[in-house]
Structure 1
Amino acid sequence: MSLSHGGRLLSVRTPLIQSLRNRTPDIRRKDIPHWKRAVVLELTKPVYKDPNEGKHPSEFCKKQIKNLSKAVKEINPFEEILAKEVFEKIDNAKLVAIFHKYSMTQAGLFAARLQLNKINLQYVHHNNNIMRLAFTGTKYEAVLKLYESETVTFVSDQLNVTKLLKLEKKIRGLLLLGGVLEGRLLSVSELKQYAALPSLDVMQAQVVHTLSSAAQLISQNLVAQQVELASLLGRHIANESTPLEEANDSTPS
């Protein structure tokens, strides 16, 4: 078969296709290895039985074994006593400040404690295990998310939130994570919003002014009609008494 193009004959080649039929391997029967390989496999066969043979991989997972060992770990009675003391301090405090501690020396931590002590913030010595024992199952259980790494805690019986935020910028090695204000967990942004609020005396004065202005407005609305009626009656009496006085003055004595 050929085609003509420009006066020339072009040959067309048809590809030769041949189908082959492959034998499907029998995966049920293992191939017999070479003699030397069979000898090596026989020599390297383990003598002792694998302890994990026949087990599910989840049973010998290292992470699960670690978690189980933590759960089975016995609680130290002395840590329970310390946890109760820490819970009482935090529950009775008006302000609790929780900081993340960077890599710093004991001298740097002592200097930070002195600065925070000036605004009546006392250092609470603890570790993460004590905090878990103190807060698990209580209203402060949400605070445990902050005690995953190096964390330090300070408590105060005064609401010095504004001073705390100003001093926190000057302290190196400590980062404020959040706090507990009168039993309520607050983030750093919420603490800043609380610090921006006016003092309690000013807010009480504003509330009293609002209530008194409303009471005055109600009393004015209730008395307005009576005052207007009294003024109209007074004008009416004044208008009637004026002609009588003029008539009395005009009559001869």
Structure 2
Amino acid sequence: MACMLTRITSTASAVRVVCPSLDYRWTQVRYRKTINTRSKKHISIVKAKLLAVTKWKAPRDSRTTLAEKCGLNLERMQQTILQENPLRDLMAQEAQTVLETSGMVAVLHSSDMTGPDRRVFCAKLKESDITVRFWSNTVAGLAVQNTPYSTLTTLMVGKNLYAHSLKPQVTQLLKVLKVTPQVNLIGGLVDGLLMSKSDMEHYAQLPSMEQCRGEVVSILSAEAGQTSQLLLSPLQQLSSHLQQISSTEDIHHTQ
């Protein structure tokens, strides 16, 4: 097969190979320079403008966080001028009576609770003689104003619930809160003392009052028994010695 070589003079200095015996021409071109893949090819100005105009931009997040909402609500509550409202005053008086007669008042924060969930939550607490009250921060603030319970105002932020009972039922309250993730414990009053969430959890781990009284009675009775033994032991020894002396004297008289 005869082939002809034809040199093409160009800037690339390529070589063309022609085979006349074939019906078609097969050309092989070899370039001395390699393809440039490192530097990016410049795009046209029109395409650059089009890409800049059609570039996606994330929208600005105008939502407020929960902390900001609570702060705004607190500022609004402080700036609001209270007007005369007989119903609000009556509810505040009732709340003050509840605070004075309750052994435990827990402040709870509710996030998102539906009506059925709220009823189930209140029913579970009612089984342990714990009542749930839905007071607004304004009513609760008026109830604790100029009272020993004024420290509760630091917990009145956001949407709160108030659980109270005649006796400190902290353990039962924590058990119900474990199965109710929509409600969180913030703090409260236990026996007239302001406690945080960690303090109330530590209080729940303490033994009950009846158990403590039983332990105290057992300790006192044990100490009393030891004291009586210490007091009676010299008398018992004295009586035993006297009996021995009397028995020896009787033996001498008989002899």
The TM-score bracket by the shorter chain reads 0.5 to 0.7
Q: 2:101 is matched with which residue?
A: 92
Per-residue deviation, 1:75: 4.4
Give the letter for the 2:164 counterpart: V
Matched, 1:124 2:133: yes
Equivalent in the alignment of 1:250: none
> What residue in structure 1 maps to residue 230 of structure 2?
221
TM-score relative to the length of structure 1: 0.63
Q: Distance in 2 between matches of 1:137 and 1:212?
A: 46
Alignment-mate amino acid for residue 189 of structure 2: V
After superposition, residues 43-82 of structure 1 pair within 5 angstroms as: 70=79, 72-82=81-91
Distance 1:237 1:96, change over 3 A: same
Partner residue in 2 for 1:207: 216
**Structure 1 CA distance for aligned equivalents of residues 96 and 213 of structure 2:** 32
- Give the one of 163, 166, 178 matched to 2:175: 166
Contact 2:135 2:160 in 1 (8 A): no
Higher relative contact order (CA 8 A, sep 6+): 1
Counterpart-to-counterpart distance in 1, 2:222 and 2:99: 41
**Ranges in structure 1 where 5+ consecutive residues have no aligned partner:** 1-62, 248-253
One-letter identity of the residue aligned with 1:81:
L
Change (3 A) 1:149 1:169: same
- Corresponding residue pairs, total: 182
What is the DSSP-based 3-state SS (H/G/I as helix, E as strand, rest coil) of the residue aligned with 1:123?
A: strand
- The residue type equivalent to 1:169 in the other structure is K
Q: Which amino acid aligns with 2:176?
A: L
Give identity over the alignment, percent: 26
Q: Secondary structure at the match of 2:179?
A: coil
The answer to whether 1:185 aligns with 2:183 is no
Q: Structure 1 residues 150 and 215, CA, compared in 2 at 3 Å: closer, same or farther?
A: same
Worse-matched range after superposition: 230-239 or 140-149? 230-239
The alignment's C-alpha RMSD in Å is: 2.7
Partner Cα separation in structure 1 for residue 205 and residue 236 of structure 2:
45
Aligned residue for 1:114? 123
Separation in structure 1 between the aligned mates of residue 229 and residue 120 of structure 2, nearest angstrom:
62
Q: Which of these residues, 132, 153, 162, is aligned with residue 144 of structure 1?
A: 153
Separation of aligned partners in 2, 1:151 and 1:125: 7
Quote the Cα distance in structure 2 between the aligned partners of 1:238 and 1:215. Answer: 34
Residue 71 of structure 1: how far off its partner (Å)? 6.5
CA deviations 1:155-207 (Å, max 9, x no partner) are 22343322211111101210011222233322233323332233333322222
Compared with structure 1, are the counterparts of its residues 210 and 89 closer, same or farther at alpha carbon in structure 2 (3 Å cutoff)?
A: same
4+ residue runs over 6 A deviation: 66-69
Q: Deviations over 1:126-178 (max 9, x none)?
A: 10111111111111111111111111112223433222111111012100112
